[in-house]
Structure 1
Amino acid sequence: MRSPLSAPAARLLRTGLLPGALAVALVATALPAAAAAAPGGAPPRPAAADAEPPPAISAYDDAFLEQYEKIKDPANGYFREFDGMLVPYHAVETLIVEAPDHGHATTSEAFSYYLWLEATYGRITGEWQPFNDAWASMEAFIIPGTADQPTNASYNPDSPATYIPEHDSPEGYPSALDNSVTAGEDPLADELSSTYGTDEIYGMHWLLDVDNTYGYGFCGDGSDDAPAYINTFQRGSQESVWETVPHPSCETFDHGGPNGFLDLFTDDASYSQQWRYTNAPDADARAVQVAYLAHTWASEQGNAAAVAETVAKAAKMGDYLRYAMYDKYFKEIGDCVGANSCAPGTGKNSAHYLMSWYYAWGGALQNAQYPWAWRIGGSSSHQGYQNPLAAYALSEVDVLRPESATGAEDWAVSMDRQLEFLQWLQSAEGGIAGGATNSWGGDYGEPPAGSPTFYGMYYDWQPVWHDPPSNRWFGFQVWGIERVAQLYQTTGDERAGAILDKWVPWAMANTTVGADGAFAVPSDLEWSGQPDTWTGTPSGNTGLHVEVVSHGQDVGVAAGLAKTLLYYAAASGDAEARAMGEGLLDALLANRDAIGVATPEVRADYERFGDEVYIPQGWSGQMANGDPVEPGATFSSIRSFYQDDPDWPQVEAYLNGGEAPTFTYHRFWSQVDVATAFAVHDELFG
């Protein structure tokens, strides 16, 4: 479901997840000696007897293994163990506010990077059990099970959800349910239930409270059970993390006010106890992408059987991920203005075939007198969430083609559509602009006059999130374009190559690599103009521009950029791209510390610990720990646990007029990006 070093506000986009606004659609070979002795789940692991021996360990692979052992060492604090299974934290450090509002929360993004770490370990060592274990952990803890989503059998695909308009800011909430608006039909539900013999959704919820810091427990029961499903963002495009009210994904009315937290978000005559989950499609698509890599690498070792069961689960996840291809309320795609005027979709004419910002599902708790369930897609798509490599795998690779009748066919359409989307959004300089929406303002409003379109969807330079703008962080450029580069290196797709031929020189021109670990990568971007309406052929977009306005030393972004350049160099033979990619790897090596790779960062945005959280007049309730939730509440007042954090004195001194605090953070995703960047070099160049 966030930002670069130098722009504290934009940092809130670092995880790229924020699916928020979102689910408010509620209806009512042996290792080196050092590795051999490593603690924490990394004992010597010989290759499987029937597999080809892995290649000799190279210098960069050795760097990967060093980073791997640091990440897996329990003393370093990247994971919490539950019954022998590992759950990654968002960060080693606890006091960190980004898309997750606490370091020991975690995201579906982190789980997808955990898979990537273990798949790369399998490529280098020939040992695949850790990869399978990572998927098992994901399945156990962040894919809701039967007890977590109990009433899906009551879902009616002819009436997927009751319409609730979105508003720009939290002050527009609670938002009233509107039964006068007709949703379209869900064309996936029956196909999926008949294929897999269940009405449940096989997808990740985006956010977990790993240590049960908030105290909601299992399904909001207030127990000590951990991890616990929670959510935060729910109230419009202007709601930053600093303005959120964390709440349990199961609403039992045991916390909050008389209706739990529901009446902060939706306005209804009555409220039912319920469960609801929000999927971040970027993370699920990355999990599929990594499963494809694992299958490819294991097959090269003659050991595809070692990962076959997990790869089949990835194909299943991809089948359900198609919900991200649909308009939020299954309205027809294109020229959709007016909630009552937009035609309800039939068949698949409500599919835009892109990766939207979210899909979500929910329903009544098991003890409801009248059980019900709902599902929504996502109307808005961000360039940084697209993953044409995953679409390629799900449509062209036999073991990853979904079992459903139309899944592989849909993903073939999606692969083409995603590449077209990126071509449409490419600026004159080369950077990729924001995205498009089928529901302007989240309420099918009138877009600005002259808005260019993509298959009838309206251009939006900051889709879904405005505080900070969702396409301000350069990291979103790297996350998306790395997949394009990997697709190009894998398939030679000319469209992918053309996008990279323009993007790579722009990114390199704005990146510097010096001596002794010095480097600077783009951080914040500013956008002007707009693309031309898409006609099926790239126009050059002479009226769409991007400017890099700040730089930083974000190690995760640098690692992702290095991988992008190396994949491009391997496919195109570009020596300059390879040299810069290697330079970034060497800079990362020079920034190693005891537990990873990191650089210090100033967090001026922590002045927002005192930001007021909008609570409507007359509303009163409590967090699980007793913190009052009422008008005048602030980010920190409803998170009083932060005052017991060992790093709190630095923030407190800043709030009292001191200097902005400096932290050296070890985010899980960025540490894995660093590790896998080292391994990519050896994979491509030997």
Structure 2
Amino acid sequence: MSKSLSRRRFTAAAGGAAFATAVAAPTAARAGTAPEETTAAAPQGPYDDLFLAQYEKIKNPANGYFSPDGIPYHSVETLIVEAPDHGHETTSEAFSYWMWLEAAYGRVTGDWGPFNAAWEAAEQYIIPTRADQPTNGSYNPGAPATYAPEHPDVSRYPARLDPSVSVGQDPLAAELASAYGTMDIYGMHWLLDVDNTYGYGNTPGSGGQNGPGPGPSYINSYQRGSEESVWETIPQPTTDLFEYGGPNGYLDLFVGDASYARQWKYTNAPDADARAVQAAYWALTWAGAQGNAGQISASVARAAKMGDYLRYSMFDKYFKQIGDCTSPTGCPAGSGRSSQHYLLSWYYAWGGAAGGGGGWAWRIGDGASHQGYQNPFAAWALSTVPELTPRSPSAKSDWSTSLTRQLEFFRWLQSAEGGIAGGCTNSWEGQYGSPPAGTPTFYGMAYDWQPVYHDPPSNNWFGMQCWAMERVAELYYASGNATAQALLEKWVAWVTPEITAEADGTFRIPATLSWQGRPDTWNPASPGANAGLHVSIAEYGTDVGVASALAKTLTYYAAKADDTATADVAGRLLDALAANADGLGIAVPETRADYRRFADEVYVPAGWSGTMPNGDVVEPGVTFIELRSWYRDDPEWPKVQAHLDGGPAPEFTYHRFWAQAGLAIAFAVYAELFPSA
């Protein structure tokens, strides 16, 4: 790392967003477009250089971040198991970071072609097309879906459909159809098998599920409750035509019914779609300052449209009333806005008939909300920026209410130390159960310290803190929101003493948290002090992606608060990260003791038998690796096998797309907000 970075002068950019005034050469006109004069901020200093160096590594085809079709992989490396179970899958998360990366590139260079290209690729590959979701016209908003309980243990699946449980009405479908002239959903599905490693075939929109060609293919994995870790999943095609699996495809592993029909189904990760909106806001702001806003108007309109549909994540799973919903049959069906909690829940999903299975479709929201998925910055942009205001008549009001509700949510969950606790649910254990007596509530929804998943506990990962609070910091920077400021002052004071960053590249940040106690029941008129809610740091680590989000959080906060001490911490952390550069990006080795779980048994119900596309047998007693025998051909597999044979836990150096893009963005943000550093 250059010694020049160890001595920096801080001049925080005032107000919302600041821009350098140097003029770069005009961007070359793309085919079919008229030339447009552009002004752009030329690189001003070492952090701009770090951004461009990292950007070039990510975009260099030889480095392997993108598929031959131009789709970002989850990671350069193939053998990696975390939320995705293979490195050459991808996620909506990766697409959203790609959009943000290209927005930063546009600020530095004035070239907005790559930003538009990222949105165009999203429409082609990760947002289902009409052919991918063909029967939405049969959807009945008065009967959105049939109830099936979730279960806390994988062994209780399949979950039986229960039509006797009432469900509420969907208040969004009609106005969305009116606004956009279609019943189709405009949102990203969360998981794509880019190289068709599993073999399910192309998506319907690009040649037909199970059709010719190598992929990419929409897939899904998690389907069986809060205890289902990635090590217990059985990946399946999103369009199940019963070509693989058992006689009913994979459906009867998850849902119990009298008979089964071929169908398609997609799951949206709301934090990724909200991040795409976030990226579009910054692209609009930066391009506007250059006089280039017209170049990205179509992409910004796509983000606004995505934000319109993202409101499905604000509703209870089965559109039941919000609050005190503690019995499947006793909890009333919702109507109008009575089923809307206004938070970003863990998912929304939609599906319907396929392959001649008749005309029907369904949609669900989710009642479980995690603090790490909230994005008050996106809510602010969607409710205040004209270019990002969705078309639907109620969208602006919904997002304005969501902004307030999300900030209340953070305030409710902030511990005595400053860390943000887990979240809440409108459906205890996913079956509208009764939470333990005395459980605190937020607008009638029960506190859950580990919402959504328990293996490992969902809020123990420090990254959830950084993802959420970075968005709060952007809101504070752009709008001066006083609640955001108060949340950050406490959070920053808690976390900054826990950061170590040295000139030689050594760094350490929190990695795993431990939670004790619980918040006070929320009273918006008189919020409690949460004196009984505590967080401690159980482990420290060197996750470069989390460190990049942490650095951005501190940078945005410091710029608005004119806090040079916090700015210095952020700068030193970025310097330490930069010192770990390699030929592919910035990475540090990590030991994967959890890879012993390659040998874990994956639950399959007694009597169930089927096959994966490559012939791997799905039956009781099967293990994770036996469902993915192709992993044994991976060049890194011998390290895992040696561990399974009794050797030490293997070590890997990973280049995850979201982390590498996040680092590039962090350099760019620091360069913008502290140009004199």
TM-score range, shorter chain: over 0.9
Amino acid at match of 1:625: N
Aligned: 1:399 with 2:387 = yes
Deviation of the 1:54 alpha carbon: 2.3
Query: CA separation in 2, counterparts of 1:675 and 1:206?
Result: 23
Contact 1:48/1:127 (8 A) holds in 2:
no
Query: CA separation in 1, counterparts of 2:402 and 2:228?
Result: 30
1:178 — aligned with what? 162
Query: CA separation in 1, counterparts of 2:341 and 2:447?
Result: 14
Q: Deviation digits for residues 475-517 of structure 1, max 9, x if unmatched?
A: 0100000010011011100000000010001111221112300
2:84 — aligned with what? 100
Query: CA separation in 2, counterparts of 1:507 and 1:538?
Result: 23
Deviation of the 1:56 alpha carbon: 4.1
2:142 — aligned with what? 158
Aligned: 1:509 with 2:509 = no
Cα distance, 1:613–1:53 mapped onto 2, change above 3 Å: closer
Contact 1:215/1:222 (8 A) holds in 2:
no
- Secondary structure in structure 1 of the residue aligned to 2:264: strand
1:149 — aligned with what? 133
Contact 1:151/1:366 (8 A) holds in 2:
no
1:110 — aligned with what? 94
Q: Deviation digits for residues 533-575 of structure 1, max 9, x if unmatched?
A: 1111432210000010100111111111111111110011112
Which residue of 46, 53, 78 maps to 2:65? Answer: 78
2:323 — aligned with what? 334
Q: Deviation digits for residues 118-160 of structure 1, max 9, x if unmatched?
A: 0000000001010000000011000000110000000000000
1:20 — aligned with what? none
Deviation of the 1:180 alpha carbon: 0.2
2:639 — aligned with what? 650
2:8 — aligned with what? none
Mapping for residues 341-360 of structure 1, pairs under 5 Å? 341-360=330-349
1:615 — aligned with what? 604
Aligned: 1:232 with 2:216 = no
- Secondary structure in structure 2 of the residue aligned to 1:134: helix
Q: Deviation digits for residues 242-266 of structure 1, max 9, x if unmatched?
A: 0000100000000000000000001
Which residue of 439, 446, 452 maps to 1:458? Answer: 446
- Secondary structure in structure 1 of the residue aligned to 2:626: coil
Amino acid at match of 2:408: E
- Secondary structure in structure 2 of the residue aligned to 1:79: coil
Amino acid at match of 1:596: G
Mapping for residues 471-620 of structure 1, pairs under 5 Å? 471-536=459-524, 537-620=526-609
1:7 — aligned with what? none
Which residue of 119, 122, 132 maps to 2:103? Answer: 119
2:195 — aligned with what? 211
Aligned: 1:57 with 2:41 = no
Amino acid at match of 1:305: G
Q: Deviation digits for residues 367-420 of structure 1, max 9, x if unmatched?
A: 22x310000001100000000000001000000001111001100000000000
Aligned: 1:130 with 2:114 = yes
TM-score normalised by L of structure 2: 0.93
- Secondary structure in structure 1 of the residue aligned to 2:267: strand
Query: CA separation in 2, counterparts of 1:509 and 1:455?
Result: 34
Contact 1:191/1:404 (8 A) holds in 2:
yes
2:303 — aligned with what? 314
Aligned: 1:187 with 2:171 = yes
- Secondary structure in structure 2 of the residue aligned to 1:163: coil
Amino acid at match of 1:671: Q
1:199 — aligned with what? 183
TM-score normalised by L of structure 1: 0.92
Contact 1:510/1:522 (8 A) holds in 2:
yes
Contact 1:215/1:224 (8 A) holds in 2:
no
Query: CA separation in 1, counterparts of 2:122 and 2:68?
Result: 13
Query: CA separation in 1, counterparts of 2:222 and 2:138?
Result: 26
Query: CA separation in 1, counterparts of 2:211 and 2:622?
Result: 22
Q: Percent identity?
A: 62
Q: Deviation digits for residues 181-206 of structure 1, max 9, x if unmatched?
A: 01000000000001100000000000
Contact 1:482/1:560 (8 A) holds in 2:
yes
1:441 — aligned with what? 429
Query: CA separation in 1, counterparts of 2:53 and 2:415?
Result: 39
Q: Deviation digits for residues 403-454 of structure 1, max 9, x if unmatched?
A: 1110011000000000000000000000000000000000000001101111
Moved more, 538-547 or 87-96: 538-547
Contact 2:24/2:41 (8 A) holds in 1:
no
Contact 2:503/2:575 (8 A) holds in 1:
no
Mapping for residues 635-674 of structure 1, pairs under 5 Å? 635-674=624-663
- Secondary structure in structure 1 of the residue aligned to 2:90: strand
Contact 1:216/1:223 (8 A) holds in 2:
no
Deviation of the 1:109 alpha carbon: 0.2
Query: CA separation in 2, counterparts of 1:636 and 1:393?
Result: 44
Aligned: 1:283 with 2:267 = no
1:300 — aligned with what? 289
Q: Deviation digits for residues 54-75 of structure 1, max 9, x if unmatched?
A: 2443210111000000000010
Query: CA separation in 1, counterparts of 2:83 and 2:299?
Result: 29
Amino acid at match of 1:261: Y
Query: CA separation in 2, counterparts of 1:158 and 1:677?
Result: 45
Amino acid at match of 2:463: G
Moved more, 538-547 or 577-586: 538-547
Cα distance, 1:139–1:264 mapped onto 2, change above 3 Å: same
Query: CA separation in 2, counterparts of 1:334 and 1:346?
Result: 14
Amino acid at match of 1:329: Y
Contact 1:91/1:666 (8 A) holds in 2:
yes
2:16 — aligned with what? none
Q: Deviation digits for residues 49-94 of structure 1, max 9, x if unmatched?
A: 4222324432101110000000000100000132xxx210000000
Query: CA separation in 1, counterparts of 2:182 and 2:348?
Result: 19
Query: CA separation in 1, counterparts of 2:181 and 2:255?
Result: 33
Deviation of the 1:48 alpha carbon: 6.7
Query: CA separation in 1, counterparts of 2:270 and 2:319?
Result: 17
Unaligned stretches of 5+ residues in structure 2:
1-22, 204-208
Query: CA separation in 1, counterparts of 2:169 and 2:114?
Result: 41
- Secondary structure in structure 1 of the residue aligned to 2:627: coil
Amino acid at match of 1:73: N
- Secondary structure in structure 2 of the residue aligned to 1:637: helix
Number of equivalent positions: 642
Contact 2:305/2:390 (8 A) holds in 1:
yes
Amino acid at match of 1:227: P
Query: CA separation in 2, counterparts of 1:228 and 1:341?
Result: 41
Which residue of 44, 55, 77 maps to 1:68? Answer: 55
The list of structure 1 runs, each at least 4 consecutive aligned residues, that deviate by more than 4 angstroms after superposition, is: none
Contact 1:154/1:371 (8 A) holds in 2:
yes
Unaligned stretches of 5+ residues in structure 1:
1-28
Which residue of 63, 71, 74 maps to 1:90? Answer: 74
Query: CA separation in 2, counterparts of 1:137 and 1:229?
Result: 15
Contact 2:24/2:39 (8 A) holds in 1:
no
Query: CA separation in 2, counterparts of 1:208 and 1:637?
Result: 21
Q: Deviation digits for residues 267-309 of structure 1, max 9, x if unmatched?
A: 1110000000000000000000100110000001111101111
Which residue of 258, 261, 274 maps to 1:272? Answer: 261
Contact 1:521/1:551 (8 A) holds in 2:
yes
